[in-house]
Structure 1
Amino acid sequence: MKIISKIEEIFSKYNWLLILVFSVIAFISPEPFLWIVKHTAILLGIAMFGMGTTIQVKDFAQLTKRPKEIMIGCLAQFTIMPLVAWAIATLLDLSTDLALGVILVGCCPGGTASNVITHIAKGDVPLSVSMTITSTIFAPLLTPLWVSLLADRLIDVSFWGMFETVVKIILVPIVLGITVNYIIGKSKNSNIGQKFIDCRALLPIISSNTIITLISGIVASNSNKIVESGSIILGVVAIHNLCGMMLGLLVCKLLKVEYTKSTAIAIEVGMQNSGLAVSLATLNFIANPLATLPGAIFSVWHNISGSIFAGWRRSHSSSLNANIKIN
């Protein structure tokens, strides 16, 4: 178990680097990774199931312990990111496909990577997890709704089609994971229950590998598009991501949210479930192939920028604590 814990720690700490390395490999030599995109929905479902198995029923009690911060975080996420995405797409007059892709990213819930980044930043991890759970629960309604409102001028959007997709690849796997965790937890004294508990430490590693695999496949299938439009979209994605984190911090400052909680909220707002954005583009907007590109690049970028942001907040936190001790 110590070995598994050590491996999990390495994956958590260097997840961004693994994503970057495999993305570069997939970009240079895409052929071995092309099969992955056909199974995007399944892979994302596996990652979400893994997330579900790490959630216990008692974790939902956190939702009642800090409703103010969770509400601030989720409202900020489902307003700042969609509206900034729409503003960027409009101001830069992006093509229909790219604008749709940017809006899809902006309308998605928080990603599980935000929990790892919050941990690195010494932020409030339980709050981060609670916000991810909450935004994911509301995603089947809010994601299609926002996309319908913001992208309707670009293309016909099927609200119910997107609703069904989000339910199938996000909500159902997470609920199944929570259910399995609950049932096994109740029978932890049995052989099957104990074996599951022993193996549960592997699930975050499997989820991380699944996300790395998924992003690699996305990059591989979009390698030509990245050459053509990658620099533009990288700039757009970077601005979008930076605006999310900085405006998240600004909202927290205005509402006087304390440091570790504001760190968690800013990271949660800025880091989206871009895998969902790619899945929605792949399954619901087949006629707009370039719509997958912003999600693909965001998947790589936000892990890198999130790690940099975490390092800054962590060092700033240490400075604050040092000043408090001196005073």
Structure 2
Amino acid sequence: MPESEPAPTPEPEPAEAPAPTATDRSAKRAVTVFPLLVIAAGVVGVLTPSSFTGWAPAVPWLLGIVMFSMGLTLTLPDFTAVARRPWAVGLGLVAHYVIMPGLGWLIATVLDLPPQLAAGVILVGCAPSGTASNVVTYLARGDVALSVSVATVSTLVAPLVTPPLTLLLAGQFLDVDAGSMVTDILKTVLVPVLLGFLVRVLAGRYVDKALRFLPWISAVTIAVIVLAVVSGSAALIKDAAALVFLAVVLHNGLGLALGYASGKLARLGKPASRAMAFEVGMQNSGLAASLAGAHFSPAAALPAAVFSVWHNVSGALVAAWMARSARRERQPGPAAARDST
């Protein structure tokens, strides 16, 4: 993802970064610790799977907690921001639901994945944007408003988009009940998000006091989801771990690169292009794991569990690199200083 070529119509970055709030600092710490929590959960699930027998049915409820927390972070200005930038938000939505599903199918085909794993990789690609993408965009000095808008819209339209895409791309590997999948997404994603938003509207003063705890609630809950998913497919991990990891790294890495490239090609500017990278490359892997376990098998949920770990590690690393690049661009070097004299 080159940062050296200036965009024809760049969006100006603020001269001074806003002072981080307590919520910002909490979110930054949570997104930093989150991969460690998920890795620990995965290791525990592999080593002692029998200790968590019967946890799988709780995954949809746990995902509902995560999505309710997401709804609590939304405000009315988040929705008006979509109306103010329909072109950029529309581009982000199309890029997300074209690039990642297409990459999922391509990777599953090229690597000749077994049907269950292929369906799982494709399902990850068809999921909405990841819940941590907004925080990672902030850390990368990206366009947070655009990130929030794309993440919100991709989540709200997921019941209409994820099932038919999964049917189209994964149907050649396994039978897909798209109708039942719509119902599950409505129950575990859309309804909790809207309930959380309603609570924010009606009791915003009280919710604001709890905002800094929400990233931690989401992080711990997703770690428990990974624990349940991994423990249910522990026997398969030893046989397929390397292949699944390769598929996940390719899926996430190409998604980040192509997401950034789509913003550059559309001349959105560097901050918006950074946001596009994370909105395309980071997926709601908790939803993918829940749907895979409910509609396919524990093996199909394995790519989502690995993706949940990896995309947060890669997202944090790419965000740090982008933030350093942004700081260097704002500081003229010796040559620029000599030219200005």
Q: Does the CA-based 8 Å contact 2:232-2:298 persist in structure 1?
A: no
Deviation at 1:198, TM superposition (A): 2.8
1:52, CA displacement in angstroms? 0.3
CA offsets 1:247-272 (integer angstroms, 9 cap, x no match): 11222221112111100111110001
2:250 paired residue number: 239
Q: Structure 2 CA distance, aligned partners of 1:237 and 1:266?
A: 16
Matched, 1:123 2:134: no
Q: Deviations over 1:224-250 (max 9, x none)?
A: 211110100100110011110111122
Going from structure 1 to structure 2, the CA distance change for 1:289 and 1:4 (only over 3 Å counts) comes to: closer
Q: CA deviation at 1:204?
A: 2.9
For the residue of structure 1 that corresponds to 2:203, the secondary structure is helix
Read off the aligned partner of 2:218 and give its amino acid letter.
S
CA gap 1:115/1:36 in 2 versus in 1, 3 angstroms? farther
Matched with 2:307 is: 298
Task: Give the corresponding residue for 2:193.
Answer: 174
Q: Per the alignment, in what secondary structure is the counterpart of residue 201 of structure 1?
A: helix
CA displacement, residues 198-218 of structure 1 (integer Å, 9 cap, x when unaligned): 334323321222112212222
The corresponding residue for 1:225 is 236
Output aligned runs, 1:62-211, within 5 Å. Answer: 62-185=81-204, 188=205, 194=206, 196-211=207-222
TM-score, structure 2 normalization = 0.87
Q: Deviations over 1:81-135 (max 9, x none)?
A: 0111111111222111011101100111101111121122121122111111010
- Contact kept, 8 Å, 1:16 with 1:307, in 2: the verdict is no
Question: Offset at 1:24?
Answer: 2.7
Which TM-score applies when normalising by structure 1? 0.90
Cα distance, 1:223 vs structure 2: 2.2
Quick check: 2:143–2:272 contact (8 Å CA) kept in 1?
yes
Q: What is the RMSD computed on CA atoms of the aligned residues?
A: 2.1
2:79 aligned to which of 40, 49, 60: 60
Distance in 1 of aligned mates of 2:52 and 2:70: 24
User: Equivalents in 2 of 1:39, 1:58: separation in Å?
Assistant: 33
Q: Which has the higher helix share?
A: 1
Give the secondary structure class of the aligned counterpart of 1:323. coil
Letter matched to residue 169 of structure 1: T
Q: Could you tell me how far apart the structure 1 residues matched to 2:184 and 2:164 are?
A: 13
Please tell me whether the aligned partners of residues 36 and 213 of structure 1 are also in contact (alpha carbons under 8 angstroms).
no
Query: 1:37 aligns to what?
Result: 56
Residue 254 of structure 1 pairs with residue 265 of structure 2: yes
Unpaired runs of 5+ in structure 2? 1-20
C-alpha contact 2:27 2:135 (8 A) present in aligned 1: no
Which stretch of the first structure deviates more once superposed, 15-24 or 292-301? 15-24
Q: Is the 8 A contact 1:51 1:177 kept in 2?
A: yes
1:133 to 1:7, Cα distance in 2 relative to 1, 3 A: closer
Q: Partner residue of 2:37?
A: 18
Q: Do the aligned residues in 2 keep the contact of 1:108 with 1:276 (CA within 8 Å)? A: yes
CA distance in 2, matches of 1:9, 1:95: 37
Q: Percent identity?
A: 39
Distance 1:205 1:309, change over 3 A: same
Unaligned runs of 5+ in 1: 189-193
State the alpha-carbon separation in 1 of the partners of residues 320 and 33 from structure 2.
13
The AA in structure 2 aligned to 1:136 is T
1:9 deviates by 4.3
- Which segment is superposed worse, 153-162 or 296-305? 153-162
Match in the other structure for 1:214 = 225
| Partner residue in 2 for 1:321 | 330
